[in-house]
A and B are shown apart, each in its own frame.
Chain A
Amino acid sequence: MIVEEDLVPQVDPGAVPSDTLTVLGRVPEGASRAEAVAHLAEAARLVRRRDIQMVRAAGLGHVGGEFSVIDVLVSLYLCAMNVTPDRLDDPDRDRFILSKGHAAAALYTTLAIAGFLPADQLGTFMQPLSQLNGHPARTKIAAVEASTGPLGHGLPIAVGTAMAGRLDGSDRRTFVVVGDGELQEGSNWEALMTAGNHGLSRLCVIVDRNLLQQGARVIDTNDLEPLADKLRAFGMEVVEVDGHDHAALVDVFAAVPAASGKPTAVIAHTHKGHPISFMSDNVAWHHKVPSPEQVAAALTELELSS
């Protein structure tokens, strides 16, 4: 793990690609598996490209935790979830809650590339009076299901949403992303206990397991292991997956609800700052704002990955 200031390749900051975002929309109906995966990979690349430029422009943000969760977000919004921009008032739409609300720029950018949010609005991120607050607010953006920011809020809300769906006999599913450090908040375990005891099979809790929190490694702070065993003990159907593998993520999400009738907990093994060489797994990038040179270097790496 790198914790010192990073060495950045010398890159011309003027050679930055456009900050426009191409709205790709969902994986097209009838796409082959290879085509679907390619669509998601390209979406993730574009979302990262826009995200880091938003953080640079705002001078604020959480680029490390955004890059760790972006593959999960695009897999959900562009493929796995049964929700489209024209169905935001459909009671049976699948729900998504970003409990680690500090990754807001990743959510906004994903919503934009999926067509839930005008892409030109992304330029207002954290500007005065913008609807794109530093943490997502349901009163500001229609596609945001729950306002989050303080950790430990999204999972209890997701449990309530899943309970309401079951009461209505709806097939809709509720997905919620929590950070791994966030699981230190006790409210999550209250909610997991409720979810397990109620057998909320249409609830899917995704843990963004990047092993880092704001100031240090999770293991050096207040460790979570054995996490899978803990989640199983709370009544979850636990699945572990590479959180940057779109094909694997799509398969895991498609398996919700689990045949066991238990809620699903997905431990998504991720890297903070992925896939940028000088950011990945580096705790310094929790809320570090990249310099113009670092943005250019990151964008160059993303271009090369396309």
Chain B
Amino acid sequence: MTGTLTPERVLHDCRDAYVATLLELAEADPRIVAVVNDSVGSSKLGPFAERFPDRLFNVGIAEQDMVGVAAGLANGGKVPFVSAAACFLTARAMEQIKVDAAYSQSHIVLCGMSPGMAYGELGPTHHSIEDLAWLRAIPGLTVVVPSDPAETAQAVRWAAQYDGPVYLRISRMGVPDVNPEGYQFVPGKAVTLRDGADVTIIATGAVVIRALDAADALAADGLSARVLSMPTIKPLDEEAVIAAARETGAIVTVEEALTSGLGGAVAEVVVRHAPMPMRFVGVPDTFAPTGSVGWLLDHFGISADGVAAAVREVLGR
């Protein structure tokens, strides 16, 4: 397979870009504070804790309190960045996310760290494959899934100044730079990483690179795939989805989550505005078996091979 991970590809942990950007913003804006659930290490917030000890609130292993406290800090004029493992943040504090953040339209940035199946062998208790489906169901919440360090940094910068609740899904799984030089994140907008005519692959987050690799493989077979990166799951870039459906005639979605996340969101637009054949690459309706994150991604076909196979299937080729 061409285009699979090659040794010369430099991989980054998006948490590094997150923390570096947060530190930079916090230097300039005293309103910025961090709220964590004993997750300084897992969020890589050590430098923040060292530089701004008074502005880091560690409530301990208490996620409901963590998000509620963040809402209170927002009421007090602060801009709280909540950093916690995505699985615990979203599942344990779902009602606080719904009420204290979204319904209240509080300026809280909820950073779901190490999402998807990043915790691999630790198992489904520690996986966060449900978060995209759950959170896109909540009115008034913006859901952003950066695909590389540059996009992570820009999304953090945007969320710091956007006066509303945001969920940022920040990957720990190594990713290369996938966005072009000079890329500018625009909330609610898809990014055309590659144009194509036969099919559109719409991917989000850490697995955008796998969609690009699949497009390489398909090109070698004479298939021209458009690749859209979809950093904002909610609100979704409906125009880009409709254009993709109409112009390429088939869509394959790719995500490191249940396919009711990005896949469901795209399908809702497609059936309403431009019904076309679709396939969904992601985790099906199941809890993952034991395995490393890399093994699990391959197991569920969230890989260049799996995406290419889904494209061939949807095109009947």
A contacts, CB < 8 Å to B: 91, 95, 137-139, 145-150, 152-153, 155-165, 167-168, 174, 186-187, 190-191, 193-194
Contact = CB atoms under 8 A, between A and B. Distances in A.
* Most chain A beta-carbon neighbours within 10 Å: one of B59, B67, B76: B76
Contact of A190 (B33, B59, B99, B103): B59
Interface in B40-78: 54-55, 57, 59-60, 62, 64-65, 67-78
A165 B76 contact: yes
B60 to A, nearest CB: 8
B69 A168 contact: no
A139 B104 CA distance: 6
B75 A190 contact: no
**8 A-B pairs with least C-beta separation:** A160-B72, A164-B76, A156-B68, A190-B65, A160-B69, A190-B62, A161-B72, A187-B64
B27 interface: no
B131 to A, nearest CB: 20
A161 to B, nearest CB: 4
A184 to B, nearest CB: 14
Main secondary structure, interface of B, reads: helix
Contacts of A160: 35, 57, 68-76, 80
* Most chain B beta-carbon neighbours within 10 Å: one of A160, A174, A191: A160
A188 to B, nearest CB: 9
A137 to B, nearest CB: 7
Main secondary structure, interface of A, reads: helix
Nearest to B67: A156
B239 interface: no
25 contacts: A91-B77, A95-B75, A137-B103, A137-B104, A139-B103, A145-B75, A146-B100, A147-B99, A152-B64, A153-B96, A156-B69, A157-B100, A159-B69, A159-B72, A160-B57, A160-B70, A161-B76, A162-B72, A163-B73, A167-B78, A187-B64, A190-B62, A193-B62, A194-B60, A194-B62
Nearest to B77: A91
A193 B59 CA distance: 9
B75 A187 contact: no
Contacts, number: 110
A286 B63 CA distance: 30
Contacts of A152: 64
B95 interface: yes
Nearest to B62: A190
Range of interface residues on B (Cβ < 8 Å): 20 to 34
Contacts of B75: 95, 145-146, 157, 160-161, 164
A186 B68 CA distance: 13
A168 B103 contact: no
B4 interface: no
A24 to B, nearest CB: 27
Nearest to B61: A190
A157 B78 CA distance: 13
B51 to A, nearest CB: 15
Given A146-B104, A156-B64, A194-B69, A168 B99 contact: no
B292 interface: no
A174 B71 CA distance: 14
Contacts of A187: 62, 64-65, 68, 96
Interface string B72-93: 1111111010000000000000
Contact of B65 (A150, A164, A194): A194
Nearest to B108: A160
B105 interface: yes
A163 B76 contact: yes
Contacts of A138: 104-105
B68 A153 contact: yes
Contacts of A163: 57, 69, 72-73, 76
Interface string B179-193: 000000000000000
Nearest to B33: A167
Contacts of A91: 76-77
Nearest to A192: B65
Given A139-B105, A160-B70, A150 B99 contact: yes
Given A159-B65, A160-B68, A153 B77 contact: no
Given A137-B103, A146-B104, A155 B68 contact: yes
A153 B100 CA distance: 8
Contacts of A156: 64-65, 67-69, 71-72, 96, 100
Contacts of B71: 146, 156-157, 160
A160 to B, nearest CB: 2
B155 to A, nearest CB: 24
B62 to A, nearest CB: 4
